[in-house]
Chain A
Amino acid sequence: MLARIAQELFWLGRDLTRAEHTARMLDGAFHADVAGLPGERGIALSWPGVLAVIGAKAPAPGEDAAEAPELVPWNLGRAEIAPLLTLDTDSPASVVSCISRARERGRTMRDVISTEMWEALNSFYLALGRYDLEAALATGPYSVYQEVKERCALFWGLLERTMLRDEARSFLEAGGRIEDADMVLRMLRVAVPSESIEMEAGHEAEAIGLLQAVGGFQAYRRWVRQVPDLLRVVRFLLYEGNYPGSVASSLAALQQALETADAAPRSSPPVLRLSRLIADLELQRRSPEAGGMLGEMLGRVQDELELIDHDIDERYFAIAALAAVHL
């Protein structure tokens, strides 16, 4: 398929997933804020913490790098950050911006994605325009974020149900899954203090908050059946292949998508690098580790993920970018 279209699909997937994760995270932050969970040590879901997760993101193509919010002083709170990341159309990281970018991409690819997926995307965008979002955010942000989550789920569900298992779908899924892994890693890195985690020293509220912010609280309860302390939760979100939102699951899905899309996966740099990363994670999972290594480990995984992203760009999309430079 066309390299330009493949890249658009990849970023459509990324934008949608980014919107969903942002919504979930903000929802979690609101919850923590309102419920008054202890905030001094637990930086995971403090408002500046949320901003740190999003703020350091490199802009997507089509975003203006200059517009990306600079790292704002740490004293900003709910009143500034929630609207900035939800409805500010000038901020490229906001949920609304992600969705309108995704919709704009979808509009130019109505021939590639299924009609039902396009309609889901379009009505998602139109629904966000209908809301008086500012008012909704002030009174009940829950319903806004709930709608974002449901509409994203609808899109991916329709993909599952109606889209041909072809290259186009693989790139769309690859984008969604790499963003999944990236967002969860960011959250974990913000949540895990750089100094060592003491195994028994709770951070319990923070751990629960983290699980809720990725929508995995119930899954953790059913699978681990132990009190959620930070170390267990981080391990769960990083390694647990049975939980679809974990980094390991996302990477496995990404690998599968790339193998489907690539004509020669055995000699494909992104696939090779990804396979190594997955094997590496599996090895780490099996070896007992000290809490102190964890922060460093998360950093390594994310660096590696960035290289994979770069490889994907090189291998599949660079040929289109060449033409753009030429023009």
Chain B
Amino acid sequence: MDVTAQIEDYAVPAGCLDELLDEDGAPRPHAASLVAALLRLGPDALHAAGRRRDAIFMQQGITFQVAGSDGARRDRPFPLDLIPRVLTATEWTVIKRGLAQRIRALNAFVDDVYHAHEIVRAGIVPWSLIVSRPSFARPVHGVRAPGGVYCHVCGCDLVRGGDGIWRVLEDNVRTPSGISYVLENRLAMTRLVPELFSGHRIRPVDHYPTLLLEALRAVAPAADSQPTVVLWTPGPANSAYFEHIFLAREMGIELVEASDLVVRDAACYMRTTAGLQRVHTIYRRLDDDFIDPLEFRPDSLLGVPGLVRAYRAGTVAIANAIGTGVADDKAIYHYVPEMIRFYLDEEPILENVPTYLLSDGKQRRMVLSRLGELVVKPTSESGGKGVFIGPHASVAELEAQARLIEATPERFIAQELVHLSTVPTETGDGRLAPRHVDLRPFAVFGDEIRIVPGGLTRVALKEGSMIVNSSQGGGSKDTWVLDEGEGVDLAPGTLPARRPPRLPDVRYGGWHGQAQQQQQ
């Protein structure tokens, strides 16, 4: 196959921005050497690397389960696309600052919701809207989390429209997942296509577990010795179990299930071979609803009875704190830019996607008249459930959605459709085609907010599709943040290269060489 054929019939969808190639099909300056490396590699080598990737992922068990046509669940290798996505240092600086700002505001909002209600009294967010959120957690009213940190782990979904501006599509301050794929993707890329890395300086991502563990230790209540941190998983049947076990392994902490934890006298313990052992910080990966049958859903079998009592007593830190879900609700999303102005007295660095509240009569009428162009989302769902995309809907679906909105306007929000940017993606035969992507960077909030360079790029593998969820045919890409060019924080090369010491007593060849010398 001709190598240049790879990008010859590369057609970017109208209204979208391609991040690697410009309008004329020439590589953008920061991606020039990557495109050159891709062309050198050629479609056949790329295809072969893809097959190697699937074999390795199967063997390492980096898989997710899908139901086959006969209903049986099978392991499929996680779909990593081998063409990386490249962000420049300048772009990343904007994203990083914007996210840190946003997370500070969200954290302040959670604290405010469960204490002083200042933002309500200032007339910015209505109290009735806050308390009607399903994730509003009355049991933790008045409980201040250790260090005043509630949102220890955050992942915000960013998108880039045709104008090239980054916008926040969604916040996730409950249990965002995907970081394990960021780390595994980078490792796999260095093994499968090392050629692509040549000529780039890329910021590393593998320090995330260290950052997370530091943050979790930092918020632990006082302990006699090193605090005990555990990761709480709902169990092997959970779809993110791979990530739970990955993080537990990388941090070297215990992966516990509900049956391993027990609360005695307002303190939390785990059941070990040597009896009960005190637990100081729980990094939980299940929703509020399930964590304590005494305070939340009484039918939860995954919970630990009395955990909220221990949390109130301050003997155990829980990350993310209980009740943070109120901040990432889609109805609250609309108010985040206002929160930033209110709590931080700053202008938002990252914008929201224009959003309309349907409980407001004027906005509702406008939305109903333009329903065919907008996206409608239910407020208290996640994972792409119940999302209505106007341009892709039939007449009957449009009418059904309009009736739903008329009936319960407060259950929905409407957003402008963002034409997601595209990145070249391998289509299965070594050729490249544009596919839509989003970006989920991961932040850790302990003593301060730290953000891992890049994040998880999810890509819709189907042509034209804008749905990137892995349960619906989405894949992922390695995300590179360049550590060169404009916008680099630290000038590289400030440390002198270290030379290895000279060891005259260590001879090349060892004793064998000496024996030969003696013979001479």
Contacts and interface: CB of A to CB of B under 8 A. Distances in A.
Interface string B171-200: 000000000000000000000000000000
Contacts of A252: none
A261 interface: yes
A260 to B, nearest CB: 12
B61 A6 contact: no
Interface stretch (A37-45, A204-212, A317-325): A317-325
A107 B260 contact: no
Interface residues of B, number: 25
A122 B58 CA distance: 9
A2 B59 contact: no
Contacts of A289: none
A123 interface: yes
Contacts of B494: none
Contacts, number: 73
Contacts of B316: none
Given A1-B254, A323-B262, A327-B259, A110 B61 contact: yes
Interface string A166-178: 0100010000000
Contacts of A119: 59-61
A2 B61 contact: no
A110 B249 contact: yes
B249 A3 contact: no
A217 to B, nearest CB: 34
Secondary structure at the A interface, as helix, strand, loop or mixed, is helix
Given A1-B273, A319-B275, A122 B61 contact: yes
Q: What bracket does the count of chain A residues touching chain B fall in?
A: 20 to 34
B248 A6 contact: no
B271 interface: yes
B245 A108 contact: yes
A4 interface: yes
B60 A2 contact: no
B482 interface: no
A4 B271 contact: yes
B249 A111 contact: yes
B255 A111 contact: yes
Given A4-B259, A122-B59, A126-B59, A110 B274 contact: no
Given A122-B60, A126-B59, A327-B301, A111 B245 contact: yes
A220 interface: no
B270 A123 contact: no
Contact of B256 (A2, A115, A324): A2
Nearest to A261: B273
Interface in A2-41: 2-6
B257 A4 contact: yes
B59 A320 contact: no
Interface string B264-276: 0000001111111
B248 A111 contact: yes
A1 B255 CA distance: 10
Contacts of B164: none
6 contacts: A2-B256, A4-B259, A6-B273, A109-B245, A119-B60, A320-B260
Interface of A: 1-6, 107-112, 115, 118-119, 122-123, 126, 167, 171, 261, 263, 316-317, 319-320, 322-324, 326-327
Given A110-B246, A115-B60, A320-B259, 19 more contacts: A2-B271, A3-B260, A4-B259, A4-B271, A5-B255, A6-B273, A108-B241, A110-B61, A111-B245, A111-B248, A118-B61, A122-B60, A126-B58, A316-B273, A319-B275, A320-B260, A323-B260, A323-B262, A324-B259
